[in-house]
Structure formats: structure tokens, C-alpha cells
Amino acid sequence: MGEFTTTIEHRLDQAYKNLQEARSAGDHYLADTFTAEIEDLRRLATDNGVVPVQR
């Protein structure tokens, strides 16, 4: 696995954890922010030929 792929996967893992925490805390704004980050990271991965793991 290349460095780019590793970085994307790590950032996605962290964003999903942060999203869960925001949802658990009832922070809808923060949850929306992390959802947008996840969408951006997934798009970046796809644009560069990386297939992110489905969660």
C-alpha cells in the first residue's frame, strides 16, 4: 500500500470516529462537517484510483 493510500485510509478512519463522536454528542453541525470531510476524502481517493473501504 502506498503512502497516499495509507494516508487517505488513516484520515478516513479518524473522520469516521469523529463523526460517531459528534453524533453521540448530538452535535449536528460537527457531524455535518465530518460527513463533508468523509465525502471529500472518498472523492479524492476515487479520483486517484484508490478504492476506500466501505464503512
Work out the pLDDT band at 51, boundaries 50, 70, 90: confident
Distance CA 6, CA 21 (A): 23
Judge whether 35 lies within some domain. Answer: yes
Judge whether 52 lies within some domain. Answer: no
Cβ atoms 46, 7 nearer than 8 A: no
Work out the pLDDT band at 39, boundaries 50, 70, 90: very high
Judge whether 29 lies within some domain. Answer: yes
Judge whether 39 lies within some domain. Answer: yes
**Percent of the chain having pLDDT more than 70?**
95
- Give yes or no for residue 54 having a pLDDT over 80: no
Judge whether 53 lies within some domain. Answer: no
More confident residue, 27 or 53: 27
Judge whether 54 lies within some domain. Answer: no
Question: Which residues, in sequence order, are CB contacts of 1 under 8 Å at separation 6+?
Answer: 9
Torsion sign (Cα): 20, 54, 33, 49: positive
- What's the number of domains the chain is made of? 1
Across residues 35-52, what is the average pLDDT? 93
**Percent of the chain having pLDDT more than 90?**
84
Domain interval for residue 15: 3-47
Judge whether 55 lies within some domain. Answer: no
